[in-house]
Structures are given as C-alpha cells and as structure tokens.
Amino acid sequence: MFSKLRKVLSVFLYILLFLIFVFALTLFSPAMKRTHEVEQKLDERKAVLEKRKAVRIALLREVHDLERNPEAIERIARERFNMCKEGEIIIRYDR
C-alpha cells in the first residue's frame, strides 16, 4: 500500500515540478525577450558609435592637415570649391 502511495506521490511531485517549470518559463519569457531586444539595440548603437568615431578621427586629421599644411588647404580649395590659382584655367569633364 505504501509503495502504491509512494508512486502516486512521486508522479504528483513530477507533475507539480513540471508545472512550476512551465510557470517559471512563462513568467520570465517576456523579460528574456526584452533583454534580447535591448542587447540588439545596444549592438546597433555600438556600431553607429564606431562609425562616428571613425568619421571624427578622419575630420580631426583633416583639421590638423589644414592647420599645418598649405598644400592641404590648396587641395581642399580646388576639390571642394573649384578654386584655382591666378592664370590657371579649369577644364571640367563629366565621368
């Protein structure tokens, strides 16, 4: 009789543990999903930050060149502003 009761209690205990496990999964599933979404946003923002850091470094190098190198000023004036020296003629062509 006790062995039969022990088997019933054992089955009942396993069912109870299974239900507790399922309840815990349903309870923490939204939190885990939210955590995953936040981690994805963080990764995306880190990628944007790295790109912006690279742009910042390039701009700092350009500023440094413009402050120290007259040829850099001339190159920028020619490329961006279509300026030329006295006596030069600019010939433009489309690629």
pLDDT digits (tens, 9 = 90+) for 58-90: 999 999 999 999 999 988 888 888 888 888 887
pLDDT digits (tens, 9 = 90+) for 37-62: 999 999 999 999 999 999 999 999 99
Helix 2-68 and helix 70-81: axis angle, to 10°? 100
Please state whether the predicted TM-score (pTM) of the whole model is above 0.85.
Answer: no
pLDDT at 41: 97
- How far is the C-alpha of 34 from the C-alpha of 25, rounded, in Å? 14
Instruction: Give the helix ranges, DSSP H, for 1-95.
Output: 2-68, 70-81
Q: Which of 80, 78, 75, 73 is nearest to 88 (CA)?
A: 78
pLDDT at 65: 92
Residue ranges per structural domain of the chain: 2-81
Q: Is the pLDDT of residue 92 over 80?
A: no
Cβ neighbours, 10 Å, residue 78: 14
